[in-house]
C-alpha cells in the first residue's frame, strides 16, 4: 500500500462519492479524508465538513491529518453556473486557488484538479478536438476551468507543485447523480428507462457529445495520479477521449433492452451550451504520456448501467 494521506474536496458529488471509495481501496480507509460543504452520514470512513472558499478551513484539515494529496472536485457546473455567473466565477476560482495555495504552503505533494470539455468554444474544431485547440469557452464554468488550467501550470512552473488535470467528458455512472451540468441527460435517461418512465430530454436528438463511463473516469484519474512525474508533460490539462453519442443514439441503445422506452425532446438553454462543445476528443497526448485507454463503449456501458440501476430500483422483473 502506498503511504499517502488523501483529501477529497467535493466528496459528496457525482465523481467524488465514487472516487472516495476507490481511493480507500488504494490507500486504506483511515488514509482517505472525504470532505464536502454538506455532511454525509452514510459515508463509511473519515469525513470532514469543509467550506473550500475558506482557506483556513482547508489548511486546518490538511494539517490535522498531514495530507499529502488533494483531489479538488468541488465546482459549480456548466448549466447551473449560467444562472449566477459572478457567483460561479467567485466560488470556482476561490476554491481552486485556496487548494493550490494551501498545497504549496503545507507540503502537499500532489493535487488533482478536474477540467472539462467546457474549456472549448466555437473556435475549436468540433470533431476530434485536439489537445492544443484554441480555448474560447462560452460558459462561466468553462472560463473558470481555463483559468484553473493556467493556474495549475503556473503553480507547477513557479512552485513545482505537482498539479495534474484531466478535461473530463460527461461522466455517466449508476452510483451517483450529476448536478447542474449539460451532459446530465445521459445519466437521467437510464434512470427513467429503468423506472419505466418516458424521458424528457433537454438536448435535441442529434447533439453528439463526448462522454465517459464512471469506471473509466475513475481509472483515468488514478492512472494519471500514479504516473511517474516526468511522464506528465501537459501541465494545463489532458484531453480525455472515450465515447461520443447523441440522445437518439443512447435512446436506441436502451431500446434494444427496453423496447417500450420512449424519449420526448423539450430543448432548453442547455442546447446552446452543448452546441459549442466538441463532439469528439483527440486524446493522443494522454495515450502517449500515461498510456490512457478507455475500456467501455456505449453498448457495454448501457448493459451495465441498466443492470446496476435495476438492482438499485429493484425492478429486474420489469423488462
Ligand atoms: N459534465 C460537465 C457539465 O456538463 C462538463 O464538465 O457541465
Domains in the chain, CATH or no CATH each: 6-171+212-239 (3.40.50.720), 172-209+243-279+296-313 (3.90.25)
Ligand 1: nearest atom to the Cα of 79: 7
The model's pLDDT over 1-50, given as tens digits with 9 standing for 90+, comes to 558 999 999 999 999 999 999 999 999 999 999 999 999 999 999 999 99
For range 95-102, the mean pLDDT: 98
And the C-alpha cell for 175? 452510483
Q: Does ligand 1 have an atom closer than 6 angstroms to the CB of 78? A: yes
Ligand 1: nearest atom to the Cα of 178: 1
Per-residue pLDDT at 3: 84
CA pair distance 203, 246, nearest whole angstrom: 9
- CA-closest residue to ligand 1 atom 6: 116
CA pair distance 89, 97, nearest whole angstrom: 12
- Phi and psi (nearest 5°) for 2? -80, 135
- Alpha carbon of 155 to ligand 1 centroid (Å): 25
The model's pLDDT over 171-224, given as tens digits with 9 standing for 90+, comes to 999 999 999 999 999 999 999 999 999 999 999 999 999 999 999 999 999 999
Kindly tell me if the per-residue pLDDT of 315 is higher than 90: no
The model's pLDDT over 48-94, given as tens digits with 9 standing for 90+, comes to 999 999 999 999 999 999 999 999 999 999 999 999 999 999 999 99
Kindly tell me if the per-residue pLDDT of 318 is higher than 70: no
- Candidates 38, 65, 141, 238; catalytic one: 141
CA pair distance 254, 132, nearest whole angstrom: 35
CA pair distance 103, 111, nearest whole angstrom: 8
- Alpha carbon of 182 to ligand 1 centroid (Å): 5
- CA-closest residue to ligand 1 atom 3: 181
- Phi and psi (nearest 5°) for 34? -85, 140
- Alpha carbon of 171 to ligand 1 centroid (Å): 8
CA pair distance 139, 215, nearest whole angstrom: 27
- Alpha carbon of 116 to ligand 1 centroid (Å): 7
Widest distance between CA atoms in the chain = 58
Q: Are 159 and 104 spatial neighbours (Cβ–Cβ below 8 Å)? A: yes
CA pair distance 22, 28, nearest whole angstrom: 10
Q: Are 26 and 2 spatial neighbours (Cβ–Cβ below 8 Å)? A: yes
Per-residue pLDDT at 2: 55
Handedness of CA 9, 10, 12, 16 (dihedral sign): negative
DSSP strand pairing (110-112 vs 46-49): unpaired
- Active-site annotation holds for 141: yes
And the C-alpha cell for 251? 435512446
The model's pLDDT over 112-150, given as tens digits with 9 standing for 90+, comes to 999 999 999 999 999 999 999 999 999 999 999 999 999
**Helix and strand element counts for the chain (H, E):** 11, 14
Ligand 1: nearest atom to the Cα of 139: 7
Per-residue pLDDT at 62: 98
- Listed in sequence order, the residues at least 6 apart from 275 whose beta carbon sits closer than 8 Å to its beta carbon are 207
Instruction: Find where cell 423506472 sits.
Output: 195
Band the pLDDT of 317: cuts 50, 70, 90: low
Q: Does ligand 1 have an atom closer than 6 angstroms to the CB of 116? A: yes
Per-residue pLDDT at 316: 65
CA pair distance 172, 214, nearest whole angstrom: 5
- Phi and psi (nearest 5°) for 166? -125, 140
Q: Does ligand 1 have an atom closer than 6 angstroms to the CB of 209? A: no
Short-list 110, 295, 287, 277, CA closest to 218:
295
Strand order across the beta sheet in which 32-36 lies: 46-49, 32-36, 6-9, 69-72, 110-112, 162-164
Amino acid at each position: 500500500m502506498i503511504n499517502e494521506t488523501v483529501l477529497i474536496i467535493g466528496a459528496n458529488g457525482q465523481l467524488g462519492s465514487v472516487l472516495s471509495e476507490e481511493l480507500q481501496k488504494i490507500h486504506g480507509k483511515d488514509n482517505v479524508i472525504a470532505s464536502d460543504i454538506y455532511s454525509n452520514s452514510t459515508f463509511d470512513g473519515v469525513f470532514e465538513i469543509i467550506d473550500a472558499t475558506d482557506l483556513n478551513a482547508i489548511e486546518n484539515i490538511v494539517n490535522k491529518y498531514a495530507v499529502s494529496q488533494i483531489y479538488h472536485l468541488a465546482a459549480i457546473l456548466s448549466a447551473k453556473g449560467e444562472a449566477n455567473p459572478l457567483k460561479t466565477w467567485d466560488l470556482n476560482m476561490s476554491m481552486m486557488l485556496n487548494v493550490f495555495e494551501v498545497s504549496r504552503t503545507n507540503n502537499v505533494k500532489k493535487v488533482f484538479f478536474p477540467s472539462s470539455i467546457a474549456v472549448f468554444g466555437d473556435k475549436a474544431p468540433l470533431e476530434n478536438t485536439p489537445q492544443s485547440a484554441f480555448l474560447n469557452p462560452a460558459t462561466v464554468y468553462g472560463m473558470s476551468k481555463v483559468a484553473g488550467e493556467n493556474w495549475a501550470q503556473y503553480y507547477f512552473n513557479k512552485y513545482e507543485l505537482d498539479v495534474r488535470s484531466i478535461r473530463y467528458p460527461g461522466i455517466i455512472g449508476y452510483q451517483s447523480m450529476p448536478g447542474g451540468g449539460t451532459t446530465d441527460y445521459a445519466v437521467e435517461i437510464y434512470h427513467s428507462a429503468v423506472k419505466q418512465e418516458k424521458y424528457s430530454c433537454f438536448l435535441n436528438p442529434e447533439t453528439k457529445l463526448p462522454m465517459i463511463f464512471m469506471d473509466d473516469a475513475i481509472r483515468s484519474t488514478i492512472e494519471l495520479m500514479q504516473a511517474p512525474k516526468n511522464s506528465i508533460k501537459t501541465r494545463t490539462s489532458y484531453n480525455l477521449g472515450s465515447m461520443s453519442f447523441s440522445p437518439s443514439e443512447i435512446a436506441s441503445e436502451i431500446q434494444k433492452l427496453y423496447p417500450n422506452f420512449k424519449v420526448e425532446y423539450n430543448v432548453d438553454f442547455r442546447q446552446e451550451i452543448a452546441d459549442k462543445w466538441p463532439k469528439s476528443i483527440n486524446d493522443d497526448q494522454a495515450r502517449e504520456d500515461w498510456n490512457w485507454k478507455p475500456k467501455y463503449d456505449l453498448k457495454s456501458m448501457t448493459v451495465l448501467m441498466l443492470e446496476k440501476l435495476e438492482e438499485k430500483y429493484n425492478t429486474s422483473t420489469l423488462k
